[in-house]
Amino acid sequence: MSLEVISKAKVCGGWHKQYSHKSISLNCDMRFALFLPPNASAESPVPVLYWLSGLTCTDENFMQKAGAFKKAAELGIAIVAPDTSPRGDDVADDEGYDLGKGAGFYLNATQTPWASHYKMYDYIVKELPALVEQHFPVTQTKSISGHSMGGHGALTIGLKNQEQYRSISAFSPITNPMNCPWGQKAFTQYLGSNKEFWREYDASELLASAQSRLPILVDQGDADNFLQEQLKPENLITAAKQSDSEIELRMQAGYDHSYFFIQSFIDEHIAFHSKYLKA
């Protein structure tokens, strides 16, 4: 499949590039961003950290605001950041920021009018890694991380595909979407009213019923405005105890939901993943 370069910039000795391509999974043109560290070559391919962004974001938010390139270059890790939803004039949308474009929730929609395009789960799990591994000097070794809605995506995708990833991390994830307003709105629209289908995309439900074999790191700011109503990290910890899974939740004093929070701890997350990507 062909790729079109949208932009490129040298940074920290490596390269940040944006690409567009025709997505089979999503039935539309998609964009993603890639950071390749300076040591990446055909003779020396590098592992990949996939980053999933949150509501209203695109591939650009993390790449421009997180300050992740210096540590990724130092440790020899590529970063891939996809968009958060399908895009295009014929793609279904909603007036709210928490549904439709910019709010794909990293699932496979089954309901009209969403099902024809909103297959973000298949895109992240299957199509995008195959595309990246075909065109760039990377290995099949990968980990996954994300923020807010993207933290939900990282947790659920990692837990459902433990053979594909080495580690999972998240900033301020939506840990129990079945029991919060963001998740209930999105799941009703994308998946219908049968809550048994919702469980397949709920990290707390998945973790409670099956032990995680992957290391998981979660950072949560205790000054996050969405903490109590939307994020509910305590539910994820309860689920981990039920399945005897290992998970580290770090409550960070004074931090909110913003990229100031992510920038403060992203180096530690990249170092965390590096331990397992290089193992």
- Kindly name the residue from 152, 224, 269, 273 that is annotated as catalytic: 224
For 266, residues 6+ apart whose C-beta sits below 8 A from its C-beta are 66, 67, 68, 71
Cα–Cα separations (whole angstroms), residue 158 to 76, 143, 153, 215: 22, 8, 8, 10
- Kindly name the residue from 16, 152, 257, 273 that is annotated as catalytic: 257
- Please indicate whether residue 224 is annotated as part of the active site: yes
Q: Rounded to whole angstroms, how far apart are CA atoms 24 and 122?
A: 10
- Please indicate whether residue 89 is annotated as part of the active site: no
Q: Rounded to whole angstroms, how far apart are CA atoms 36 and 14?
A: 6
> What are the CB-based long-range contacts (under 8 Å, 24+) for 227-234?
227/172, 229/180, 229/181, 230/174, 230/180, 230/181, 230/182, 231/148, 231/172, 231/173, 231/174, 231/175, 231/180, 232/175, 232/176, 232/179, 232/180, 232/204, 233/173, 233/175
Farthest-apart Cα atoms in the chain, separation: 50
The amino acid at residue 221 is G
- Please indicate whether residue 148 is annotated as part of the active site: yes
Contact (Cβ atoms closer than 8 angstroms) between residue 201 and residue 156: yes
Q: Facing residues of 249 across strands?
A: 218
Q: Rounded to whole angstroms, how far apart are CA atoms 16 and 35?
A: 4
- Kindly name the residue from 148, 169, 172, 212 that is annotated as catalytic: 148
The residues annotated with a catalytic role in the active site are 148, 224, 257
